[in-house]
């Protein structure tokens, strides 16, 4: 199996960006549509939280992992469900990973919306890139289709 890409955030980024966005989101302030993802740890069973940018395409919603095969990705694969939070609003969801062949349109939509924030993690590929370029990087960026529980 090929090594899976994961770009680990630096300490300063975690402290300034993740912690700040996470704190704001927990207190009801969504930054550009951000949510706090909560997923049970695959080993500990404890809730693990990370800020994410949910993507809506048509009537479907997705989570895209710009940094690659992160811990939250591994936990979500194992758990199959989680929560998206903003303030006191908690949305329960189930997740199904999207095959690479379906990712180009989703990655294009994601980059159209958040390239300013996450573009550095996509190796120069952007919303105007060809389907072939987006398909080439698709294995490096897991995408999950999420469905809200009623």
Domain definitions of the chain by residue range: 11-148
pLDDT tens-digit series, residues 130-140: 999 999 999 99
Residue 128 confidence (pLDDT) above 50: yes
Tokens standing for 91?
A: 């949305």
pLDDT tens-digit series, residues 13-25: 545 565 666 666 6
Buried b (16+ CB within 10 A) or exposed e, 89-116: eeeebebeebebeebbebbbbbbebbbe
Q: Using an 8 Å Cβ cutoff, are 87 and 27 in contact? A: yes
pLDDT tens-digit series, residues 56-96: 999 999 999 999 999 999 999 999 999 999 888 999 999 99
pLDDT at 106: 98
Distance between CA atoms of 130 and 74, rounded to whole angstroms?
Answer: 28
Q: Which CATH architecture group holds 11-148?
A: Roll (2.30)
> Taking the CB of residue 62, how many other CB atoms lie within 10 A of it?
20
Alpha helix segments (H runs only) across 7-142: 11-13, 19-26, 71-79, 103-118, 131-137
Residue 4 confidence (pLDDT) above 50: yes
């Amino acid at each position: 199996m090929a090594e899976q890409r994961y770009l680990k955030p630096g300490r300063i980024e975690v402290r300034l960006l993740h912690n700040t966005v996470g704190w704001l989101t927990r207190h009801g302030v969504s930054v550009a549509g951000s949510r706090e993802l909560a997923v049970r740890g695959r080993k500990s069973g404890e809730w693990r939280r990370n800020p994410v940018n949910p993507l809506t395409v048509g009537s479907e919603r997705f989570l895209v992992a710009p940094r690659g095969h992160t811990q939250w990705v591994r936990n979500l694969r194992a758990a199959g469900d989680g929560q998206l939070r903003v303030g006191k609003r908690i949305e329960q969801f189930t997740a199904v990973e999207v095959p690479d062949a379906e990712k180009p349109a989703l990655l294009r939509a994601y980059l159209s919306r958040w390239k300013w924030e996450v573009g550095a993690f996509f190796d120069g590929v952007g919303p105007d890139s060809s389907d072939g370029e987006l398909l080439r990087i698709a294995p490096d960026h897991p995408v999950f289709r999420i469905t809200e529980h009623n």
